[in-house]
Amino acid sequence: MALHQYDPTFYEQRGYNKDIMPKGPEQRDTSAFNFFTLWMGAVHNIPNYAAVGGFLILGLSPLQVMFALVISSFLIGILLAVNGYAGSKYGIPFAIHLRLTYGDIGAKLPGILRGVIAGIAWFGLQTFAGSVALIIVLNKIFPGFSDIGGGHKFLGITVSGFIAFMLFWLINFAIGFGGGKILNKFTAVLNPLIYIIFGGMTIWGIKAGGGFSNILNYELSTNGSTAYPVLLGFFIVFNSLLAVWAAPGASVADFTQRAKSTKAQIIGQISGVVVAHVLFAFSSICILIGGSIYYGKQEWNILNIIERWDSNIAIIFAVGILLMTTISTNATSNIIPAGYQISALFPKKITYRKGVVIAGIVSILIMPWKMMENNDSIFLFLNMIGAILGPVAGVMVFHFYVVAKKKINLEKLYFDMNDVSKSVQRFNMSAYVATIIGVIVSSLGFIPQLGIIGQLSWFIGFFIAGLCYLALNQMLRRKGDYDEI
């Protein structure tokens, strides 16, 4: 490759800001340990604990749910490592990784869907969800905090709720504004705290439940839900967790672009995700079922269990760690990808930090608390994003490994596409058609009679889109209409 492939001046003179340039060796400072700690917070958060309750009513036993969670973690780790390979090898962010697959014009729509719409909307939603937990802490420290404003609402939210939201928003925004370096420091502090706090909560859950055997033998009520065969139940758990990770799984190059080596990100990500899920699988079952036994009510909301503890200090510490894990999730999965993608859309005018500012402001303007008034609309939004990003990830993976054969010409990728006289595709029609086919098929699950497709939507979308892309790409090659990068 050319000697200037990682020269910042060479890219700046051609209209690229530093945030979407390929990262040179001196900029790759993310170690295997950094990757090990990166995703820990994304596992131990409030929505994931609630999801475990949903898995328990599939008809699976507590032990089977544990095994399903651990097996899922290997699949998630492999997805992150495999789709992060291009970023770690060539130093390119997600926006440029998309360009490799879809063309520079074609990359805009999937980039907007993942980085802008999904990133900003879920940044706002998770910030609001965290602010609800923050109110628990504020009420313990400042009794009567929830009564501020006398119950009057401001923009559809109580005054105390809006104050809590803005406080939590500022913390999330600051981590996102600081970018990967600040996030690495934050997760390095958070990681041991997670082991300490959730380890202690797990011990409490075992004692509260009268022993681990009582937890494993707990009689679960399905609340009228359909019990699935064990094997299908396992795949539903796999699909659900992969759908939750669909967004970071697609845009993981934003983090692996700074990896010290490909080996570092592979070892760090897979080991980090698996270890985090092993702890999560054990702790979530023990805390939720142990709490349910102790309080005599089947309870799947971890906040409801924590709030009933006798010690205010224990409540503050436990909820505080949950808030920190939410911040970590918000940074890795939402605000950082949004900042990079907005920067990629307007590389001459908007840097990563300006993109974070825009994303942060928009996350307030959409009033996420209004979106959470209707639970059905939230889950519909999540399912739709999963149905879209599963096929996107499938096409990206199949293109890089099978079509590009893990080889990228950076000069051609960054510059030739800006010259319409070149033969390089600016819009990869094969990738678009394959993605649309994958989205349509995986979205059939929204039809009641085809609900099983919805339960396996990520798997179906990923593989159908990827295989369709290979077939369409082969057809274009035979016609001579394809020019690879």
pTM over cut 0.75: yes
pLDDT over 50 (residue 64):
yes
- Report pLDDT digits (tens) over 379-419: 566 667 778 889 999 999 999 999 999 998 887 887 765 44
Q: Name the pLDDT band for 8 (thresholds 50, 70, 90).
A: low
Q: Name the pLDDT band for 484 (thresholds 50, 70, 90).
A: low
**pLDDT above 90 coverage of the chain, percent:** 35
Residue boundaries of the structural domains of the chain: 30-215+224-375
Matching CATH number, 30-215+224-375, of 3.30.1330.40, 3.30.930.10, 1.10.4160.10, 2.40.40.20:
1.10.4160.10
- Report pLDDT digits (tens) over 85-122: 999 999 998 888 998 999 888 888 888 878 777 788 88
Q: Name the pLDDT band for 421 (thresholds 50, 70, 90).
A: very low
Print the SS3 string covering the chain: CCCCCCCHHHHHCCCCCCCCCCCCHHHCCECHHHHHHHCHHHHCCHHHHHHHHHHHCCCCCHHHHHHHHHHHHHHHHHHHHHHCHHHHHHCCCHHHHHHHHHCCCCCHHHHHHHHHHHHHHHHHHHHHHHHHHHHHHHHHHCCCHHHHHHHCEECCEEHHHHHHHHHHHHHHHHHHHHHHHHHHHHHHHHHHHHHHHHHHHHHHHHHHCCCHHHHHCCCCCCCCCCCCCHHHHHHHHHHHHHHHCHHHHHCCHHHHCCECCHHHHHHHHHHHHHHHHHHHHHHHHHHHHHHHHHHCCCCCCHHHHHHCCCCHHHHHHHHHHHHHHHHHHHHHHHHHHHHHHHHHHCCCCCCHHHHHHHHHHHHHHCCHHHHCCCHHHHHHHHHHHHHHHHHHHHHHHHHHHHHCCCCCCHHHHHCHHHCCCCCCCCCCHHHHHHHHHHHHHHHHHHCHHHHHHHHCHHHHHHHHHHHHHHHHHHHHHHHCCCCCC
